[in-house]
Structure 1
Amino acid sequence: MLNNNVKQCDLLMNDSFHVCNFRSELEACCDAARYFLVTQENTQIGDKFNYETQKSRQIVVTETLHNMLPKTSIFNKPIRSCAVVGNGGILRNSCCGAEIDQADYVFRFNLPPMNYSDDTGRKTNLVTANPSIVSKRYSRLHERRRPFMDLVKNYEPAPILMAAFSFPSTTDVIFKVIYTLEEFGSQQKVVYHHPNYLTNLAVYWTEKGLVVRRLSSGFMIVSTALEICDEVTLYGFWPFDQDTNGKPILHHYYDNMSPKRGAHSMPDEFFFYSQMHSKGILKLQVGKCF
């Protein structure tokens, strides 16, 4: 498969070659179309998953868990254009909202506020949710369930992507999100990263020279988009406290809360985004959109 794709890529020139070759490598290593999510198609009752971050811990796929899974992949590739919308302060006053909403598929991260639509757009096809948000802001859904539901309604009908099989300590919180959605009669679905996909992706990028403690969710999604989308544009990916003109900016477009130190290495990841931008593999939008 890879060899055939590489031969096809050899017929292309310049930027098209880089995009084709890169996508072929990602498909060979990770195959997001089939394995990005845990689905009923790629998982059987009785299967055992090693947690992504703790290989010594396992979870068994019970009939109940299997019934929670989507039947097949949520991606119908190829997708022509994708917007991957980070939460960086560089988005504030960018006027990129209309451009983002024109993309065929829009990824967002960590249930961000949607009241800056002129800058961030309104469209959402997939949104991630860090379990820590549920734990810290919504008391692990023991309390404050209505406010949580008011938040996630902003993204309907987009599925909510959570890493249920990355950290053993957060699996129960993620399942509570499913139960809460069901109890409130929501049609919104929770989907899960496949731990094997994340493991293979980490190995791929390590071999490319990106040595980090753990890939950020942003980098994971960008990698997925590069495999399934013909064109990928990144918005809000800017790990610096000043814009391109040296003007101070917020850490996020909606607040100035600093990230947890040591969790990820955003500047290192940004270097790879810059390299891919220079090769035409993706477009890195860091200025205004008008």
Structure 2
Amino acid sequence: MKRPLRRSFAVLIFVVLVGAASFSTALRRAVAPAPAWEPPPPRLNATLLRLAAADPSEASLRRDVDELLEGRLPASAARARAWRHDRLLHPLHLHSHHGLSLPRRGRRPDDDHDTLLHRLPRHEQLHIDPALRRDLSSWHRLRRYDPSVLGSLASLLSIPGRIPSCAVVGNSGILLRASHGALIDSHAAVFRLNNARVSGYAAHVGSKTNFSFINSNILHLCARRPGCFCHPYGHGVPILLYICQAAHFLDVAACNATSSTRHGSPISVTDARLDVLCARIVKYYSLRRFVAETGRAPEEWDRAHDAAMFHYSSGMQAIMVAVGVCDRVSVFGFGKSSDAKHHYHSNQKAELDLHDYEAEYAFYHDLSEHPQVVPFLNDSGFAVPPVVFYR
């Protein structure tokens, strides 16, 4: 009689233990936070990807490069006027069909290279020196889709490895609403855009600058100054430049011939493969926005945006360079607000309409929150570092 009773008691203990374990597991599940839900990546639209990959400006760019290599300025009347103001051109790269020597002025060697100082004979011809010819040809040859370029950008900055932390400082007036200056300067490297002023604004934008990022239109304006001065942040701050027009390679060559010796920091042109990657990404987001907001076919985007002139902004490429070389990226001064100035340092009212800033903002959101869904960037196999946007 005792043996069955003992067996029943053992079974009862087993049931109690199993029940307690089950209750404990259920309790832990009820109390523990649920795992974060990751939304599935959206399906990329094949039509938008195809259209974003098309470059309607390639044919005209090819003609411009060929004309420069043959010793002629690009045929576009607008560009020619920009270079022929008062019939003055870069003396470093011009000679006369008649063999006339160009008049020189200035007693210092660098003065002989100052731009817009010499009048030219009626029949002038560009003389492309071998180094400039190599640079121009190499830049255009590299202008292809290769998203792996993100992993090789450290050589562009002439740095041995990745930078621990970077701040990219835009020019939006929203910077004046916060005092991020000390936070910006605490980063290992600070990128600034298009020579925006820092004097008088340090509390909001910081005072430190490690890299100056400009587009070639800015350099073209600098090239009109004696000595080609384009270094408002100090003589030792490297300038990174992306090319808007092939003819601006003349500015790069002329300015590097003077400013690298006088100011100690040469001008580096960004890898053309990065240009192509940026162009495809922003065009995809612009196409997507156009279709969503207008309900029209994506093929109609070209007419609405002047496709041959459409371009990403300087700020977008600066962010992409930072993503390629920094372990952590902080972004300041991007975005706009009805109660803020357009630019913190000027009275400019609006930007050029060849950019689609709303499309770029959509890209920034994905880059920060879900980089794996960014089209074309997800082909690179590159691990995007943390990117934080400050408003």
Question: Is the structural similarity TM-score above 0.5?
Answer: yes
* Equivalent residues in 2 for 1:113-192, closer than 5 Å: 113-115=197-199, 116-136=201-221, 138=222, 140-141=223-224, 144-145=225-226, 149=229, 152-164=231-243, 166-182=244-260, 185-192=262-269
Higher relative contact order (Cα pairs below 8 Å, separated by 6+ residues): 1
In the alignment, structure 2 segments of 5+ residues that lack a partner are 1-34, 39-56, 70-127, 139-153, 288-304, 372-385
Residue 153 of structure 1: how far off its partner (Å) = 4.6
Larger Rg: 2
Residue 62 of structure 1: how far off its partner (Å) = 5.9
| In the alignment, structure 1 residue 219 sits paired with structure 2 residue 282 | no
Aligned residue in 2 for 1:201: 278
| In the alignment, structure 1 residue 95 sits paired with structure 2 residue 179 | yes
In the alignment, structure 1 segments of 5+ residues that lack a partner are 1-12, 18-49, 243-247
Maintained 8 Å contact 2:175/2:205: yes
Aligned residue in 1 for 2:331: 234
**How does the TM-score come out when normalised to structure 1?**
0.65
| In the alignment, structure 1 residue 277 sits paired with structure 2 residue 368 | yes
1:92 match: secondary structure: helix
Greater helix proportion:
2
**Distance of aligned partners of 1:123 and 1:193 in 2 relative to their CA distance in 1, 3 Å threshold:** same
Aligned residue in 2 for 1:35: none
Aligned residue in 2 for 1:83: 167
Q: Structure 1 CA distance, aligned partners of 2:279 and 2:167?
A: 22
Residue 257 of structure 1: how far off its partner (Å) = 0.5
Residue 124 of structure 1: how far off its partner (Å) = 1.5
How many aligned residue pairs are there? Answer: 227
2:327 match: secondary structure: strand
Q: Structure 1 CA distance, aligned partners of 2:264 and 2:169?
A: 24
Residue 154 of structure 1: how far off its partner (Å) = 2.1
Aligned residue in 2 for 1:73: 156
Maintained 8 Å contact 1:157/1:188: yes
**How does the TM-score come out when normalised to structure 2?**
0.50
**Distance of aligned partners of 1:62 and 1:52 in 2 relative to their CA distance in 1, 3 Å threshold:** farther
Q: Structure 2 CA distance, aligned partners of 1:260 and 1:205?
A: 16
Aligned residue in 1 for 2:352: 261
State the AA in 1 paired with 2:280: V
Identity across the alignment (%): 22
Question: Which shifted more, 186-195 or 277-286?
Answer: 277-286
1:127 match: secondary structure: strand
